[in-house]
C-alpha cells in the first residue's frame, strides 16, 4: 500500500487522531519501522556471517592444500601415520553419485505424482493425498535414518540388491557384493526425501498451465496423456527443471539420514552402487565430533564450504528458473536434517 | 475427453491407432496413480515400522527417567524431552519475533526491490544445509568456549527463521489494504494498525508458519551435533548454559549402540518424535484452513 494513505484526509480527523496519540503512539511508528528494518537486516547478516565463518574455519586447510584439496582422494586423519592428510574427492564423488541417482528416480516419480494430483485424482482425494505426500517431507531425517538402518538395509541386502544384480548384474553399477549399507541405500533414502519437495513445486508449476491450452488439446481429440505430453510438459519444462534442481539442493545437504545408512568406508571412485561410501555432509556429521587435530577440523569445514557453495548454486539457479515461471515456492517444506 | 468418449469413438471408427493411443493413455494414467500410491505407501511403511517397533518400549519409566550410562539397561529419555523443549522454546523466542518483523517490513515499509532482496536471502538461507548451519554456530559460539543450549538454540533459530519469515511475508501481504487504509483513515498510527488490525487478521497464517517451523526444528539433529550434544550430566537439565541433549540427538546416539535395550529406546524415541512432529504439521495445516482469512483468498502456505 502507498504511504500517502497514512495521512488523514480531513483536518477534523487529524485533530481527532492527535488527541488520541499518546507518547507510545509517537514512539511506536519509528520504533516499529526500525525494528522491521533491523529484522530484515538480521536475515541478510546471518547469511553473510555464515558464509564468512565457514570459509574462515576452512582457512587452515585451504592454505595447506589450496584447491588441490578438491581433487585429492587422500583422507587420513590419524596423525603421525603415513599419508596423514586430507582431500575431498571421495566425498564429492559420493555426493554426486547419491544425489544424481536419487534425483534420477525422484524426478519422474514426482512429476507423475504431480500429474496424478492435478489431472487424475478425484477432487475429494486430492487434498488428502497431497497432504500425505508432503508429510513424507516432515519425517525427521534421524527417524528416516533409523528406519533405513534397521528396516530398509536388511531388505536391500536380502531382496532388492540380489534382484537388481540378477537382472542388471552385467552393469558395473550393480556389481560387487550386496552390503545393505551403502550408496544404493542412501540413494533410496534421498529419493524418499526429495520426492515431496519436487512434486510440490511441480504441482505449483502445473497449476500455471492455462486451462484454455489444455482444453484446446482435448478438444482437438488428444487423449489425456497426449495433452500432458504436448501441452503441459512443454509449458512446464523450465519450472520442472527448477523443481528438480531444488530437490538436488536438498539431496546434496542431507547429512544425518545418509550418514546412518551409507557405510562410511570410501572405496575410491568405485562404479558399484552396492559399495559403501561417504558424502560431504555425511562425513562432516560422522567425524566432526571426534576430530583430533585443528587441521582435521579445518578440513571438515573445507568440506562444509564446498557443500555450502554447491547448495547455494543449486538454490540460486533453481529459484531463478522457478521465479521466471511466477510460481510461489513452498516454504518450510523439507525434512529436518 | 473421458475414457468412455474415446472408447465409443474407437468403436465407431474401428481405428487401431486410436486404440493404441487409448492404451498408452491408460498406461500413463496407471503409472501416475501408482507413483502417488507408492509415496503414500512409503509414508505408511515408515510410520508403521516406527509404531510397531517403538510401542513396546513406551512406558512411564521411559518418560520420567533420564538416560543411563552406556551399556546399562533401563533408563528413559526424560532429559532429552526436556532438552528438546528448552532448545525449541529458546529458538522460537529468537526466530518467531524476528520472522514476523521481517514480514511486517515487507508488507508495510519496504520498497518492492528491497523486499525481493530480503525474500531471496531468506530462500537462500532456507537452502543452506543444516549441517553447515551447525558448523557456523560451532565456529561462532562453541570454538574457544563450549557447547551450550544457547548455541544449539541459535542454530535451530537460523533454521526456523526463513520458514517463519517467508510464511509471514506471504500472509501479511494478503491482508486487504482496504482494512489497513480504514484503520489509518480513522487516525490510527501505523504501528497501531499493524498491532490491532494487520497481525490479528493474519494470525492464523502466522501461527501456521510458526508451528511448521517448530515441527521442523523439533526433529533437527544436524545443527545440534556440534553445538549441543556433549552433555556433562545425564540428569534432567533446563540450564541452556550447558549442552542440552535432545530427542533427535539421543536417537542418533542410540543407533550407534547395538544392544536390544538401546535399539528399543531408539524406536520408542522415534515414535514419540514422529507423533509430535506429524501432529504439529497437521495442526498447522488445520489451523491455517480454519482460521486464516488468507486461505479463503485462494493462496496456500506450507
Give bridge partners of residue A263 from the DSSP assignment: A277
Question: What residue segments make up the domains of chain A, in order of their start?
Answer: 88-324
Q: Cell triple for residue A311?
A: 547448495
Q: Judge whether residue B99 has pLDDT over 70.
A: yes
User: A335 near A140, Cβ under 8 Å?
Assistant: yes
The Cα–Cα gap between B55 and B41 comes to 20
Percentage of chain B surpassing pLDDT 90? 45
C-alpha cell at A246: 531444488
pLDDT at res. B64:
83
Grid look-up 523450465 returns A238
- Residue B283: CB partners within 8 Å, gap ≥ 6? B211
Of B32, B53, B180, the CB nearest to A116: B32
pLDDT band at B201 (very low <50, low <70, confident <90, very high): confident
pLDDT-derived band of residue B295, with 50, 70 and 90 as boundaries? very low
Task: Say what the pLDDT of residue B263 is.
Answer: 85
Q: Does A249 touch chain B (CB under 8 A)?
A: yes
pLDDT of B12 strictly over 80: no
Q: Is A14 on the interface with B (CB under 8 A)?
A: yes
CB contact at 8 A, A6 and B185: no
Mean pLDDT computed over A151-170: 86
Q: How does the average pLDDT of chain A come out, rounded? A: 85
Determine the pLDDT at residue A217: 92
Task: Specify the CATH superfamily of domain A88-324.
Answer: MetI-like (1.10.3720.10)
The pLDDT value recorded for residue B128 is 94
Band (B10; pLDDT cuts 50, 70, 90): low
Note the pLDDT of residue A21. 58
Length of chain A, in residues: 337
Residue B32 above 90 pLDDT? yes
pLDDT confidence tier of residue A114, bands split at 50, 70 and 90: very high
Nearest CB neighbour to A43, from listed B21, B35, B121 = B121
Interface contact flag, B109 A37, Cβ < 8 Å: yes
- The angle that helices B112-127 and A294-324 make with each other, rounded to 10 degrees, is 130
Best residue in B20, B221, B255 to probe A by mutation, most A CBs within 10 Å? B221
pTM for this predicted structure:
0.88
Residue among A294, A176, A314, A182 nearest A241 (CA) = A314
* Angle of CA points A332, B210, B148, to nearest 5°: 90
For residue B65, is it left (φ>0), alpha (ψ between -120 and 50) or beta?
beta
Mean residue pLDDT of chain B comes to: 86
Q: Which three cell numbers stand for residue A221?
A: 481429440
Arithmetic mean of pLDDT, A65-78: 87
Q: Select the highest-mean-pLDDT range: A195-199, A326-330, B64-68.
A: A195-199
ipTM, interface predicted TM-score of the complex? 0.87
* Predicted confidence band of residue A332 (pLDDT cuts 50, 70, 90): very low
- A195-221 confidence digits (pLDDT tens): 999 999 999 889 888 889 999 999 998
For residues A43-50, average pLDDT: 94
Task: Taking residues B114-136, report their average pLDDT.
Answer: 92
Is there a contact between A273 and A157 (Cβ–Cβ < 8 Å)? no
Q: Which of A20, A29, A249 is facing B127, going by the closest CB pair?
A: A249
With beta carbons less than 8 A apart as the criterion, state whether A51 and A291 touch.
no
* Closest to A94 in 3D by CA, of A214, A232, A252, A295: A252
Residue A277 bridge partners (DSSP): A263
Q: Which residue of B has its CA nearest to A30?
A: B191
Which residue in A203, A54, A46, A32 sits closest to A116, CA to CA?
A203
Per-residue model confidence as pLDDT tens digits over A227-274: 999 999 999 988 899 999 999 999 999 999 999 999 877 777 777 888
User: Which pLDDT belongs to residue B6?
Assistant: 60
Backbone angles phi, psi at B179, to 5 degrees: -65, -45
- Look at residues A250, A235, A246 and name the one whose alpha carbon lies nearest to residue A281: A250
In this prediction, residues A5-23 reach a mean pLDDT of 49
Lowest mean pLDDT among A287-291, B35-39, B91-95, B218-222: A287-291
Q: Which three cell numbers stand for residue B278?
A: 506429524
Contact residues on chain A for B114, CB-CB shorter than 8 A: 40
Cβ contacts (< 8 Å) between A226 and chain B: which residues?
21, 25
pLDDT value, residue A101: 95
pLDDT at res. A141 = 93
Q: Residue A109 carries which DSSP code?
A: H
Q: Closest Cα partner for A142 from B253, B39, B128, B79?
A: B253
Helix (H, G, I), strand (E, B) or coil at A76: strand
B216: which chain A residues are within 8 Å (Cβ-Cβ)? 138, 332, 334, 336
pLDDT exceeds 90 at position B44 = yes
The Cα–Cα gap between B83 and B77 comes to 10
What is the four-CA torsion angle of A55, A61, A65, A67, rounded to 10 degrees?
A: -20
Average pLDDT of the segment spanning A156-168: 85
Helix, strand, coil abundance in chain A, percent, nearest 5? 75, 0, 25
Q: Which residue of A has its CA nearest to B158?
A: A46
Query: What pLDDT, on the 0 to 100 scale, is given for residue A198?
Result: 94
The Cα–Cα gap between B225 and B134 comes to: 7
> How many Cβ atoms are within 10 Å of B171's Cβ, its own excluded?
30
Which of 152-191 (A) contact B at CB < 8 A?
none
Cα–Cα distance measured from residue B232 to residue A26, given in angstroms and rounded to the nearest whole number: 50
CA distance B42 to B53: 16
CA distance B163 to A316: 17
DSSP structure class, residue A3: G
Spatial contact of B212 and B284, defined as CB atoms under 8 Å apart: yes
Query: What are the strands, taking DSSP E only, across chain A?
Result: none
For residue A89, the distance in angstroms to the closest alpha carbon of chain B comes to 19
Question: Does the beta-carbon distance from A47 to B125 stay under 8 Å?
Answer: yes
DSSP readout, A245-285?
A: HHHHHHHHH--HHHHHHSB----SS---TTS-B--HHHHHH
Residue B286 and residue B252: Cα distance in Å, rounded?
A: 31
- Beta-carbon contacts of B26 under 8 Å, excluding residues fewer than 6 positions away, are B3
Amino acid at each position: 500500500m502507498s504511504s500517502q494513505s497514512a495521512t488523514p484526509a480531513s483536518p477534523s480527523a487529524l485533530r481527532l487522531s492527535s488527541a488520541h496519540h499518546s507518547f507510545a503512539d509517537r514512539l511506536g511508528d519509528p520504533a516499529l519501522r526500525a525494528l522491521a528494518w533491523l529484522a530484515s537486516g538480521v536475515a541478510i547478516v546471518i547469511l553473510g556471517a555464515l558464509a564468512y565463518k565457514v570459509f574462515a574455519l576452512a582457512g587452515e586447510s585451504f592454505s595447506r592444500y589450496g584447491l588441490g584439496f578438491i581433487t585429492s582422494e587422500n583422507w587420513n586423519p590419524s596423525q603421525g601415520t603415513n599419508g596423514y592428510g586430507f582431500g575431498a574427492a571421495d566425498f564429492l564423488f559420493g555426493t554426486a553419485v547419491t544425489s544424481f541417482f536419487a534425483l534420477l528416480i525422484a524426478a519422474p516419480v514426482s512429476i507423475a505424482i504431480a500429474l496424478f494430483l492435478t489431472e487424475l485424482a478425484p477432487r475429494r482425494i486430492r487434498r488428502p493425498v497431497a497432504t500425505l505426500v508432503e508429510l513424507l517431507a516432515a519425517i525427521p531425517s534421524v527417524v528416516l535414518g533409523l528406519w533405513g538402518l534397521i528396516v530398509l538395509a536388511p531388505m536391500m541386502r536380502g531382496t532388492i540388491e540380489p534382484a537388481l544384480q540378477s537382472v542388471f548384474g552385467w552393469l558395473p553399477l550393480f556389481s560387487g557384493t550386496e552390503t545393505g549399507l551403502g550408496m544404493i541405500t542412501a540413494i533410496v533414502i534421498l529419493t524418499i526425501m526429495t520426492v515431496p519437495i519436487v512434486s510440490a513445486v511441480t504441482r505449483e508449476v502445473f497449476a500455471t498451465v492455462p486451462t484454455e491450452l489444455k482444453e484446446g488439446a482435448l478438444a482437438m481429440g488428444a487423449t489425456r496423456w497426449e495433452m500432458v505430453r504436448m501441452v503441459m510438459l512443454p509449458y512446464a519444462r523450465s519450472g520442472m527443471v527448477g523443481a528438480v534442481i531444488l530437490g538436488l539442493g536438498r539431496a546434496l545437504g542431507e547429512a544425518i539420514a545418509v550418514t546412518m545408512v551409507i557405510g562410511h568406508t570410501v572405496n575410491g571412485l568405485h562404479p558399484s552402487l552396492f559399495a559403501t561410501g561417504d558424502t560431504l555432509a555425511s562425513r562432516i556429521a560422522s567425524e566432526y565430533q571426534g576430530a583430533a587435530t585443528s587441521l582435521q577440523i579445518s578440513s571438515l569445514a573445507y568440506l562444509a564450504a564446498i557443500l555450502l557453495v554447491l547448495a547455494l548454486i543449486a538454490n540460486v539457479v533453481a529459484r531463478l528458473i522457478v521465479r521466471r515461471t511466477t510460481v510461489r515456492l513452498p516454504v518450510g517444506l523439507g525434512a529436518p536434517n | 475427453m473421458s475414457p468412455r468418449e474415446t472408447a465409443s469413438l474407437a468403436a465407431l471408427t474401428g481405428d487401431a491407432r486410436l486404440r493404441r493411443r487409448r492404451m498408452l493413455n491408460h498406461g500413463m494414467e496407471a503409472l501416475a496413480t501408482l507413483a502417488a500410491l507408492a509415496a503414500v505407501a512409503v509414508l505408511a511403511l515408515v510410520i508403521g515400522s516406527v509404531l510397531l517397533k517403538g510401542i513396546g518400549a513406551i512406558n512411564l519409566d521411559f518418560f520420567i527417567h533420564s538416560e543411563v550410562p552406556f551399556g546399562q539397561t533401563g533408563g528413559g529419555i526424560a532429559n532429552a524431552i526436556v532438552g528438546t523443549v528448552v532448545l525449541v522454546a529458546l529458538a522460537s523466542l529468537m526466530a518467531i519475533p524476528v520472522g514476523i518483523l521481517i514480514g511486517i517490513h515487507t508488507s508495510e515499509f519496504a520498497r518492492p526491490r528491497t523486499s525481493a532482496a530480503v525474500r531471496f536471502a531468506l530462500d537462500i538461507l532456507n537452502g543452506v544445509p543444516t549441517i553447515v548451519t551447525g558448523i557456523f554456530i560451532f565456529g561462532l559460539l562453541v570454538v574457544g568456549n563450549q557447547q551450550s543450549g544457547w548455541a544449539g538454540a541459535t542454530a535451530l533459530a537460523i533454521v526456523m527463521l526463513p520458514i517463519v519469515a517467508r510464511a509471514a511475508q506471504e500472509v501479511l501481504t494478503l491482508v486487504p489494504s482496504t482494512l489497513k487504509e480504514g484503520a489509518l483513515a480513522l487516525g490510527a498510527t501505523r504501528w497501531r494498525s499493524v498491532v490491532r488490525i494487520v497481525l490479528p487478521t493474519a494470525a492464523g497464517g502466522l501461527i501456521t508458519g510458526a508451528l511448521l517451523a517448530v515441527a521442523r526444528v523439533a526433529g533437527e539433529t544436524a545443527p545440534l551435533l556440534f553445538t549441543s550434544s556433549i552433555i556433562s550430566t545425564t540428569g534432567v537439565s533446563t540450564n541452556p548454559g550447558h549442552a542440552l541433549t535432545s530427542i533427535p540427538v539421543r536417537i542418533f546416539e542410540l543407533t550407534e549402540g547395538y544392544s536390544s535395550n538401546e535399539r528399543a529406546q531408539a524406536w520408542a524415541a522415534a515414535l514419540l518424535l514422529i507423533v509430535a512432529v506429524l501432529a504439529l504439521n497437521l495442526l498447522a495445516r488445520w489451523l491455517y484452513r480454519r482460521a486464516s482469512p488468507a486461505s479463503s483468498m485462494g493462496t496456500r502456505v506450507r
